[in-house]
Amino acid sequence: MNRQHIKYALLAAVALSLPVAVHAASRPDSWITLKAKTALLLADDIPATHINVDTINGRVSLFGKVHSEAQKSKAAAEVRMIEGVVDVKNHLQVVAEAKEARVERTDDVIKADVENALKSDATLDNSSISVKSVNKGVVLLSGKASSWNDNVSALQTTENRPGVVRVVSQIEVHDAVADADFRMDADAKSDSGNRSTGAVMSDLWITSATKMKLAADSRTPATEINVDTTGGVVTLFGMVPTQESKSAAQEIAKGVSGVKQVENKLEVVAAKQQDKVQARDEDVLANVKQALKDGGNQDNATIGVEVSNGVVRLTGTVPTWERSLSAVFSARSVQGVRSVRNDMTVETVQAAR
């Protein structure tokens, strides 16, 4: 079967249970998302390339289509087993499988096709992933992936090839997320020969950049918008209160470098009509500081917080770009915060652990 495409829950202003906060912080959201995508792609009888995955503060959201209630339940069960997952929001839609003509290809043809597709994928230039064998359409991949992002890209590329029945993996990958994949500056480039910078921007980089820009824009409820990127195609899903918010999110995503297309699947659900109490800046300041502390964002970091009319400015230093993104969303989730300006400095480019 030829399949196509795969893919943050509010952090409490004051966390009531320290053990949960520490547990969630022990594994970055990006690591959880990539592990979840890997688990779904390798699971038997789950159409993983039709599933979008995103994680916010340890809470994983699944969005897309499966062919049965059993597949929907199995997908959630696979994700719940991943370390660091606090909860799973299962928004998968059950749609009867369309009858399609099976593409019959010999194992030798499938092997050659997959190998060519892997070599042609610019995002895999820093990895050495190959096809070890093909048996009745079941493809076994081996080699080394330079990052979890590369690992997922290789699995997705293989799963999408005609004639592939299933993917099995012996790919070696370091159990961490490369911090360079998150970098938002001009130094975030691949040493991949003649490839253009736009061609080699990782999906993780695009997702992270989009989330950072959503958090900085007061028009969008950033912690309610899930972002998933596959092959430069960004899928937005979740709920927003107005059509303006939905349009603004699409505009922001389109403006991120490396984005080829935006699939805006955000659902507009009007917020309940109620009086909104304008939070005092001093209260917002205290709650943001507490959220940063409870979320583990201050560990090995020195983050300064300023608040003016609900706009939060974060300064200081953090050890990784992943921590920077996490701190921004911890602050953005606090009641009364309209937007977050990120002026933090990343003091190292070591892998996020």
Note the pLDDT tens digit of each residue in 120-168.
988 888 899 999 999 999 999 999 998 888 999 999 999 999 999 999 9
Looking up residue 113, the CATH number of its domain turns out to be 3.30.1340.30
Q: Is residue 112 domain-shared with residue 79, that is, in the same domain?
A: no
Q: Is residue 287 domain-shared with residue 215, that is, in the same domain?
A: no
Q: Is residue 240 domain-shared with residue 261, that is, in the same domain?
A: yes
pLDDT mean over 56-84 = 94
State which of 271, 305, 328 marks the end of a domain: 271
Q: What is the DSSP secondary-structure string of 151-214?
A: HHHHHHHHHTSTT--EEEEEEEE-SSB-GGGG--STT-----TT--HHHH--HHHHHHHHHHHH
Q: Is residue 183 domain-shared with residue 244, that is, in the same domain?
A: yes
Q: Is residue 287 domain-shared with residue 347, that is, in the same domain?
A: yes
Q: Is residue 124 domain-shared with residue 63, that is, in the same domain?
A: no
Number of domains in the chain: 4
Residue at 74 is within a domain: yes
Q: Is residue 112 domain-shared with residue 149, that is, in the same domain?
A: yes
* pLDDT for the residue 183: 55
State which of 271, 286, 309 marks the end of a domain: 271
CA-CA-CA-CA torsion for 199, 204, 207, 211, nearest 10 degrees?
Answer: -130
Residue at 9 is within a domain: no
Residue at 102 is within a domain: no
Q: Is residue 166 domain-shared with residue 199, that is, in the same domain?
A: no
268 bridge partner residues: 240
**Mean pLDDT of all residues in the chain?**
83
pLDDT mean over 316-330 = 90
Residue at 308 is within a domain: yes
Q: Is residue 215 domain-shared with residue 264, that is, in the same domain?
A: yes
Q: Domain range holding 134?
A: 107-173
Residue at 11 is within a domain: no
pLDDT mean over 58-83 = 95
Helix axes 29-42, 148-159, angle to 10 degrees: 30
Residue at 311 is within a domain: yes
Q: Is residue 296 domain-shared with residue 233, that is, in the same domain?
A: no
Q: Is residue 196 domain-shared with residue 162, that is, in the same domain?
A: no
Greatest extent of the chain over all pairs of C-alpha atoms, in Å:
67
State which of 124, 140, 173 marks the end of a domain: 173
DSSP state of 12: P
**Is the predicted pLDDT of residue 225 greater than 90, yes or no?**
yes
Q: How confident is the model at residue 96 (pLDDT cuts 50, 70, 90)?
A: confident
pTM above 0.85, yes or no: no
Q: What is the DSSP secondary-structure string of 200-222?
A: H--HHHHHHHHHHHHHT-TTS-G
CA-CA-CA-CA torsion for 116, 119, 120, 123, nearest 10 degrees?
Answer: 150
Q: How confident is the model at residue 57 (pLDDT cuts 50, 70, 90)?
A: confident
Q: Retrieve residue 289's tokens.
A: 């500081």
pLDDT in tens, 192-211: 344 444 445 788 989 999 99
Residue at 35 is within a domain: no
**Is the predicted pLDDT of residue 8 greater than 90, yes or no?**
no
* pLDDT for the residue 348: 61
Residue at 216 is within a domain: yes
Q: Is residue 184 domain-shared with residue 266, that is, in the same domain?
A: yes
Looking up residue 60, the CATH number of its domain turns out to be 3.30.1340
